[in-house]
Amino acid sequence: MSGNCGSLAGKVAVVTGGSSGIGAASVRQLAEAGARVVIGYNLGAERAEALRAALPGSGHRCARIPLEDPQAIAVLAAELGRDDTRVDILVNSAGFTRPIPHADLETLDDALFGEILLANARGPYSVIRALLPLLKASGDAVVVNVSSISAFTGSGSNIAYCAAKAALDTMTMSLARVFGPEVRFLCVSPGAVATDFVAGRDRSALEKQAVNTPLKRVVEAEDVAAAVMACVTHLRAATGTRIVVDGGRHL
């Protein structure tokens, strides 16, 4: 992505989980920088369309990306190949979790563990696998996986979520090693973020947590999206690593 390091004019971006939270903030910032964005969603079709209609620029589209269905993802990849011939930016922001105390293994049963692994590790892999030919066709592509400090702290909404994000981090390293220089792979790893991703976690709870961090501020979805943008436009010599955006919470 040579030239003006802050401009993404002419670039094609795909964002999973793009209808809300960190994904939607990333969609807005990518569009503001000039990219044409595919807003991936699962159940949030109306949110995705409302977001698309409000974006600057033209050529944006919405696409359902069911992470549990590799065949549907392959169909989308084929459609993108016909329309755009390449993908320059992929942001894997879709995910799923449930707040479960770590000692409560009865609630975190085998089926739920599998759902969380699928949403946060296998799902991103399916999207990367399907879009890799289009990413390679860019010649200068970047994949940003939205991970979590849960991957390396072992603290988070539940044990399966911690395990899934650790898998995502390690997968990112493995992919970066074998697919450079055509494609860079990075993780952006937030702590608690002011979105509705974790059920029951309201603003007051985040503010109480933030008091005990070095920066003493709540991390917003826009903060994480800014880190995603930095991976795309400025961290040109970085691959296979994580960018932590948590106000210092992990320290």
- pTM for this one? 0.93
Sequential pLDDT tens for the chain (251 residues)? 444 456 999 999 999 999 999 999 999 999 999 999 999 999 999 999 999 999 999 999 999 999 999 999 999 999 999 999 999 999 999 999 999 999 999 999 999 999 999 999 999 999 999 999 999 999 999 999 999 999 999 999 999 999 999 999 999 999 999 999 999 999 999 988 776 666 666 777 888 888 888 888 888 999 999 999 999 999 999 999 999 998 888 98
Predicted local confidence at residue 235, as pLDDT: 97
Q: What is the pLDDT of residue 143?
A: 98
Q: In what order do the strands lie in the sheet with 61-64?
A: 61-64, 36-41, 12-16, 89-92, 141-146, 183-190, 241-245
Angle between helices 21-32 and 45-54 (to 10 degrees): 20
The C-alpha atoms of residue 214 and residue 78 are separated, in whole angstroms, by 46
Whether 6 is in a domain gets the answer no
Six-digit token pair at 113? Answer: 């563990």
Indicate which residues carry an active-site annotation.
Answer: 161
The count of structural domains within the chain is 1
Give the pLDDT score at 5.
Answer: 52
CB atoms within 10 A of CB 42: 18
pLDDT score of 3: 42
In a domain, 7, yes or no: no
Whole-angstrom distance, CA of residue 141 vs CA of residue 84: 14
CATH number at residue 26: 3.40.50.720
In a domain, 153, yes or no: yes
- What phi, psi does 55 have (nearest 5°)? -80, 145
Q: Domain range spanning residue 63?
A: 12-245
Is there a domain that residue 26 lies in? yes
Q: What confidence score (pLDDT) does residue 2 get?
A: 43
Half-sphere exposure of 16 (CA within 13 A, CB side): 29
d(CA 88, CA 134): 8
